[in-house]
Amino acid sequence: MTTDIQHKPAPPLEQGSTSTDPTPHIERGSVVTVQRRRTRTPGAGLLKGLGVVFHHWHKSFEKLDDYEKTAGTFTTEYPEERLPLPEAYRNMPILLYDDATGHELCTSCFQCQRICPPQVIHMTQAKDPQTGKAIPAVAEFIIEYDACMSCGFCAEVCPFDAIKMDHHFELSTADHTTLTVHKEGLLRPVSYYQAIAPTFWAEAQESAYKKLQGNIKRRPALVGIAPQVVEKIRAAQDTAHDTDEGTATTLATPQAAPLDAGVETTDPAADKATRLAAIRARNKTKRVEGEQPAAEGVSTPAAQAPEASMDSGGDLPSDKQARLAAIRARNRAQQAEQGEE
């Protein structure tokens, strides 16, 4: 189909004119050829579209390592790959306890419970089992994770650095009751928080441990120790107690042996302790013998009566005999001075 169309140029604008009429002026006479039906290959459009799809599909496997790239995998393949979380990240509150002693840093001061906006923190203060008086330890601590807003106010207001914000966020569960977490589920060792927030813990460590040592002195027995490590701490204390008793028995055995026994010991420490005891007893005996001549001849029957009763006690260690002899000599001297007056 052919159509004759003539394009007439717009008349020139007069000088000073401001007309901006965009209407084209067309006159008959120009020829415009329009091809209505082009020759097309069957399925060419489908193949062209699939080519675009495969092109993008292939590029999607390329790892984006340059900001200039505009296509490829630019997301982290979670959960196989995880981005590092910043130290200030906060999800849910947790409680801390000392790795070495097992003592909880929390003293149940109720500061976090008072400041909590949704009021999801609940605690009970521990009491001395003997006196019934309140002590700086927490008996029960409950946080409702399902209503917690992760504001971090509790961690900011805590004066003992006992409550911190955890980085664990995978808390989805089909059991709603598990989101009410008790003290045993909240407690974490200090080393756990130190691993996820080393800078924050370094700033608070000195003050936290200084306050903890003061609180431990006011806690009787195993009160205030994390339930996870109570049995471990009790076993360690029993072992230390048994070791102390065994050491005391070993040290006491050489002292109970007579000094003039002709049996040689194979323990250098016990042998040395025996020799020192013998030397001390010998020196005290010499001092007593030097004081006795001054008090001879002035003794009275009243002074001799206690002496006889003391000597009748049987064989005593030389050290004790020396002390008793010194006391008797001193008493005789005092009585002699009183008689002269």
| CATH classification number, 93-229, choose in 3.30.70.3270, 3.40.50.10320, 3.30.360.10, 2.60.40.3500 | 3.30.70.3270
Tell me what pLDDT residue 313 has: 44
Q: What pLDDT, in 10s, does the model give residues 253-305?
A: 544 444 444 444 455 556 667 777 778 777 877 776 666 555 454 444 444 44
Residue tagged 């700033």 (tokens): 203
Q: Which residues of 284-293 are buried (b: 16+ CB within 10 A; e: fewer)?
A: bbeebeeeee
Which residues neighbour 97 within 8 Å (Cβ) at sequence distance 6 or greater? 103, 104, 105, 187, 188, 189, 190, 225, 226, 229
From first CA to last CA, the distance across the chain in angstroms is 163
Contact status, residue 72 vs residue 199, Cβ threshold 8 Å: no
Q: What pLDDT, in 10s, does the model give residues 157-184?
A: 999 999 999 999 999 999 999 999 999 9
pTM above 0.95, yes or no: no
Q: Where are the beta strands (DSSP E) in 20-144?
A: 26-33, 93-97, 121-127, 134-144
Tell me what pLDDT residue 96 has: 97
Percent of the chain with pLDDT over 90: 45
Q: What is the DSSP string of 158-195?
A: -TTS-EEE--------S-GGGGEE-HHHHEEEHHHHHH
Contact status, residue 163 vs residue 94, Cβ threshold 8 Å: yes
Q: Which burial class, exposed, middle or buried, applies to 159 when counting CB atoms under 10 A from its CB (0-12, 13-18, 19+)?
A: exposed
Tell me what pLDDT residue 314 has: 46
Mean pLDDT throughout 97-115?
96
Token output for 196: 């996820």
Q: What pLDDT, in 10s, does the model give residues 221-257?
A: 889 999 999 998 888 877 876 676 666 555 555 444 4
Token output for 191: 């080393």
pLDDT bracket for residue 155 (50, 70, 90): very high
Domain ranges, ordered by start, for the chain: 93-229, 268-340
Tell me what pLDDT residue 138 has: 96
Tell me what pLDDT residue 258 has: 44
Residue 52 predicted with pLDDT over 80 = yes
pLDDT bracket for residue 90 (50, 70, 90): very high
Tell me what pLDDT residue 152 has: 96
How far apart (Å, rounded) are the C-alpha atoms in residues 218 and 139? 15
Contact status, residue 121 vs residue 85, Cβ threshold 8 Å: no
Q: Which residue has the higher pLDDT, 115 or 22?
A: 115
Tell me what pLDDT residue 26 has: 60
Q: Which burial class, exposed, middle or buried, applies to 119 when counting CB atoms under 10 A from its CB (0-12, 13-18, 19+)?
A: exposed
Nearest 5 degrees, angle CA 47-CA 48-CA 49?
90
Nearest by Cα to 299 from 335, 337, 341: 335
Token output for 46: 């489908």
Q: Which residue has the higher pLDDT, 185 or 61?
A: 185
Tell me what pLDDT residue 259 has: 41
Indicate the pairing of strand 93-97 with strand 163-165. antiparallel
